[in-house]
Chains A and B, each alone.
Chain A
Amino acid sequence: MTGKTPLSTPLLSVGGLSLAVTHSGNQVVKNVSFDIAPGEIVGIVGESGSGKTLATRAIIGLIPPAVRHVGGTILYRGKDVLGMKDRDLRQLRGGEVGVVFQEPMTSLNPSMTIGRQLEEGLILHTKMSVEERRAAILSMLTRVGIREPERALTAYPHEFSGGMRQRIMLASVMLLKPALLIADEPTTALDAVVQRDVMELMVELTQAEGTAVLLISHDLPMVARYTNRFVVMEKGVVVEQGLTEEILQAPQHPYTRKLLSSLPYRGTARELDMTRTPMVSARNIVVEYPGRKGLFRKHAPKRALHGVSVDIHVGEVVALVGGSGSGKTTLGRTIAGLVQQTEGEILFQGRERSADWRDYRLNCQMVFQDPYSSLDPRMTIQALVEEALRLVPDLDTPAKRRRALETLEEVGLSADFANRYPHELSGGQRQRVAIARAIARRPKFLIADEPVSALDVTVRAQVLELFSNLQKRYGFSCLFISHDLGVVEQVADRVIVMQDGRIIEEGDRDLIFDAPKEAYTRKLLSAIPALDLNQTGGVTLKWRLEA
């Protein structure tokens, strides 16, 4: 992974590629050029709508029917892919160029055994005998870390976890020893801890076979970590490309600089008064989901939380981190009153919250993860925010209306938005509406469940900024649930690490990030790279902890 410079004869050369939506003529990829040398790892970075996925689909001749090629060439070993006959194209796909997609849950055929799916490519592209194929598959499955490869042959995809499926995908592609691997957001859908394992496995396999990699991602640190060179795309245009280290050190284009400055950074540590009665205290919370009533026996109840205690102090932002299945979301929902705890008590300002539910409801609000699902599609923006004030006493209707508009203004949405519907807004704007709805009541306590994980990098930075400003202005306490440690590092005062329904470690943010005690925390932290901003607008990148 040392900085290889492009060789004289590129493996793949994209020149002036332009693609347009057929019915509108709208160019979604404009004049895109880049090269990949044999064995090199090249990244493409861009946000949604940058055209990065479309441009790479064109490399294997898989442009969706609604999109048309309007200019430029794609040369693979000097031959134009776009002019190839179907037969030659099919030889190229799989055999020469392999692809790994983002979603491991849907990229394997659910009704075909793993063995058959892996064998298919070998039958098509090699002349191996049945026994040779079987041997090759078994050895590849072992290499990607599948424990019982024999059994996996006859198993169906749904029997494996997301991380395992992505390994199987990798195996199916690498079996054919392609000269180029296109990896389209290969780890985005995976847990942080698994992400790094899968990425390292991918790099290891491709380096061993001399396969070049085109890594497409929205995740700049990850691309920067693994590539020799990368390309930055914005709205269908390549705005900058070059050696990874050079771009990181001295980005030339304003958009690249914006991307880099949008990466989360560590906020300054705050002094908080921790001696007062906590705003919210959860004591020994146990949550059990009743076992599904089977026909012949009752399944044992599933315990999602095993006696968890959390204090959130006045004005404090407490981050809850952990992988999927850690129980962090369940804990948040329990405190929000959406899930009934089996055992334990939740105190609000020192009193059991059930003593005055109405008061708790007025003062505890929540921001959800998915801004596409958290807003009623049939209500206008103003109605959505006003609804939050419906049960607030001491406000008459005109006052409620004024408050709603004020709050929208505060989250950066002008009065023009008031009469629009959610589907007319972008993801970032919707999340602003969701935040406006949550703070319209001026609550004392806010639960934010992955509030920025559905957003693009630059939008995420803006929303986080907004969140911090509002938190400072109103001083609400906040439980901030996130799997993204970068975001947590930026906003949290204190961090709680959860795994399997238990708290593993908790402490001040700086303590957790700089001197984690528990192995699991270390593993989480070692899965993400750390970035330090430098004077020139660039960043220095290093692993936070070596695994």
Chain B
Amino acid sequence: MRKLTFNGVIGGGLIGLLVLVALIGLVWTPYDPMALGFTARLAAPGVAHWLGTDEFGRDVASRLMVGARASVWIGFLTVTFAVVCGTFIGIVSGYARGWVDGVIMAINNALLAFPGILLALGLLAVFGANQYGIIFALGIAYTPSMARVVRGAVLSLREREFIEASRVMGNGEIYTMLRHILPNCVAPITVLATSMFGWAILSESALSFLGLGVPPPAPTWGNMLAAGRPFIEQAVWLGFFPGLCIALTLLGINLLGDALRDKLDPRMRGLK
């Protein structure tokens, strides 16, 4: 029990902090994140610039705050996309069964045969490398996993006696789906969505790092890390701090996910 709280508190705290910083970044940053500073290029972290400046003299801390916003936004929209599409596909597939299910799942499994980031790379070639391109590409790439999990939950729920009880009462299929099946899918969806938020942030920074993400000068953690790479020896803070932000965010999500899973699992075990 104590461990569960520990995970939840640290994880929730880290994510809370991230969201808070992203929100503050909307209205206030120590410096203008885009303002070029000719006096202090590649300045080491210090009193004036807490986390130093980059090769154009821009304040790293301010840029990280704005980058947090991009990460949270992209993560949020991607997960929303995948949850909505994946839940819909999963429920239809699990509920329809028969050939509809067969066809949907065959396509789903084939899409799962593309590693997520690879599918996203391919899709980026279609959508173009920008913020919304990334959201669509990642959202589509994650939808099959969500669909599979939801379908699994639906299938196991269908075998449960309370679904049969609903049928014996004469309730219609749609009613049963919305009243009994969907609410009981919330737990697995939440757990997966939490992980997906992490994947989305990581993938966005990886894509930006490759130069296929949000294009500079708009700051994201990924493109800041990529920009810091050539200066890794003389100005390690340029690459170090964005990476640290990503790592802490992922740690927070992983801990939060563990806590959620521990909390929701008893009911999920009941679903088997």
Contacts and interface: CB of A to CB of B under 8 A. Distances in A.
A374 interface: yes
Interface in B252-270: 267, 270
Interface stretch (A251-259, A387-395, A407-415): A387-395
B169 A390 contact: yes
B194 interface: no
A138 interface: no
A377 B171 contact: no
A362 B170 CA distance: 7
A517 B132 CA distance: 77
A366 B168 CA distance: 7
A263 interface: no
Nearest to A372: B270
B265 to A, nearest CB: 13
A358 B162 contact: no
Contact of B267 (A361, A377, A388): A377
Interface in A1-30: 23
Contacts of B164: 338, 366, 368, 374
Interface string B135-165: 0000000000000000000000000111011
State which size class the interface on B falls in. Answer: 10 to 19
Contacts of A338: 164, 167-168
Interface in A371-398: 372-378, 387-388, 390-391
A337 interface: yes
Contact of B169 (A372, A375, A387): A387
A239 interface: no
A373 B168 contact: no
B170 A376 contact: no
Contact of B162 (A361, A365, A373): A373
B267 to A, nearest CB: 6
Contacts of B179: 387
B88 to A, nearest CB: 20
A388 B169 contact: yes
B105 to A, nearest CB: 15
Contacts of B168: 336-338, 361, 364-366
B183 interface: yes
A477 interface: no
B169 A376 contact: no
Contacts of A423: 267
A369 B170 CA distance: 19
Contacts of B170: 358, 361-362, 391
Interface string B1-21: 100000000000000000000
A444 interface: no
Majority secondary structure, B binding face: helix
Contact of B184 (A368, A372, A377): A377
A273 B183 CA distance: 47
A376 B162 contact: yes
B156 to A, nearest CB: 11
A311 interface: no
B180 interface: yes
A353 interface: no
B169 A369 contact: no
B37 to A, nearest CB: 56
Interface string A19-47: 00001000000000000000000000000
Nearest to A364: B168
B183 A378 contact: yes
A119 interface: no
A377 B184 CA distance: 8
Nearest to B167: A338
Contacts of B165: 366, 368, 374-375, 434, 437
A391 B184 contact: no
B186 to A, nearest CB: 8
B169 A373 contact: no
Interface in B159-200: 160-162, 164-171, 179-180, 183-184
Contacts of A366: 164-165, 168
A363 B270 CA distance: 30
A510 interface: no
Contacts of A337: 167-168
B1 to A, nearest CB: 8
B160 A378 contact: no
A437 B165 CA distance: 9
A366 B162 CA distance: 11
A370 interface: yes
Given A376-B184, A377-B270, A391 B162 contact: no
Nearest to B267: A377
B161 A373 contact: yes
Nearest to B183: A378
Contacts of B166: 376, 387
Given A376-B180, A378-B184, A361 B161 contact: no
A105 to B, nearest CB: 15
A324 B6 CA distance: 47
A517 B153 CA distance: 48
Contacts of B171: 387, 390-391
Nearest to B186: A378
B184 A374 contact: no
A415 B105 CA distance: 46
A374 B161 contact: yes
A372 B180 CA distance: 15
Interface in B63-118: none
A337 B171 CA distance: 13
A390 B167 CA distance: 13
Nearest to A23: B1
Interface in A317-343: 336-338
Nearest to A371: B161
Contact of A369 (B1, B161, B180, B184): B161
A388 to B, nearest CB: 6
A370 B272 CA distance: 13
B169 A374 contact: no
A242 to B, nearest CB: 41
A365 B179 CA distance: 19
A217 B110 CA distance: 51
A362 B270 CA distance: 29
A377 B170 CA distance: 20
Contacts of A364: 168
Contact of B161 (A358, A365, A368): A368
B169 A370 contact: no
Contacts of B183: 376, 378
A377 B183 CA distance: 10
Nearest to A378: B183
Contacts of A390: 169, 171
A535 B92 CA distance: 63
Contacts of B160: 373-374
Contacts of A376: 162, 166, 180, 183-184
Contacts of A336: 168
5 contacts: A338-B164, A366-B168, A374-B161, A376-B166, A391-B170
Interface of A: 23, 336-338, 358, 361-362, 364-366, 368-370, 372-378, 387-388, 390-391, 423, 434, 437
> Which 3 A-B pairs rank lowest in CB-CB distance, beginning with the nearest?
A361-B170, A374-B161, A368-B161
Given A362-B170, A374-B161, A377-B184, 7 more contacts: A337-B167, A338-B168, A361-B168, A370-B161, A375-B162, A388-B169, A391-B171
